[in-house]
Structure 1
């Protein structure tokens, strides 16, 4: 089943994990919504400008590739998207945001999207 996934920290840099996640999500037939502060296009999809807080509907999963020190200003926006779950990839773990998300009934995972996809656990 396809899971519409917002990639926070999306990039056109092929050496970054966020780029690899976009590639793998597509190869597993998941719709991606790349969101970041750098403009560009990955796999035919434009990166939405995080600073504009784009209104995105029906997000299943947010996969986080932004460090916790840079997440605070986006917390309310992230929560307003009301995803079913947030995956905090290694280096993006954020206890404060995770607790707020959990209180809203959002599943929180400190995990690696790439490993989850590889193991069929996504």
Structure 2
């Protein structure tokens, strides 16, 4: 397992992209942790409703609208991930600047596409 990933904005609803992402990450043998508004389980991954202090998070993949991201800036930066993926609809230039100041790589991309094209 490599590239431990935090799916941020995880949903229990099977038709949500965050849910698809958890399934696809697990199927690609990526270690997954997840944060969402409702506690539950997707593909064997427990969705946490508390902001836990995870170690060795390589990637944070965002599924949270930019207007709601501000409350989580400090938390995400504190995890010191190697990268943050802004999935479609989550793009946030204000957060990009904060990540740059903290030397955290970010990209506007789709986790599902990156996995499907072996670019994850």
**Residue-pair matches, total:** 120
Structure 2 match to 1:29: 29
Residues 19-98 of structure 1 mapped to structure 2, 5 A cutoff: 19-49=19-49, 52-98=50-96
TM-score (norm 2): 0.96
For 1:27-84, what per-residue CA distance to the aligned partner results, in whole angstroms no more than 9, with x for missing partners? 11101001111111111121111xx321111000000000001111111111111100
CA distance in 2, matches of 1:112, 1:102: 20
Report the Cα offset of residue 95 of structure 1: 0.7
CA distance in 2, matches of 1:121, 1:27: 15
CA distance in 2, matches of 1:53, 1:44: 19
What stretches of structure 1 move > 6 A for 4+ residues in a row?
A: none
Higher normalized strand content (fraction of residues)? 2
Structure 1 match to 2:2: 2
CA distance in 1, matches of 2:20, 2:51: 23
TM-score (norm 1): 0.95
CA distance in 2, matches of 1:120, 1:103: 29
Unaligned runs of 5+ in 2: none
- Alpha-carbon RMSD across the aligned residues, in angstroms, is 1.0
Unaligned runs of 5+ in 1: none
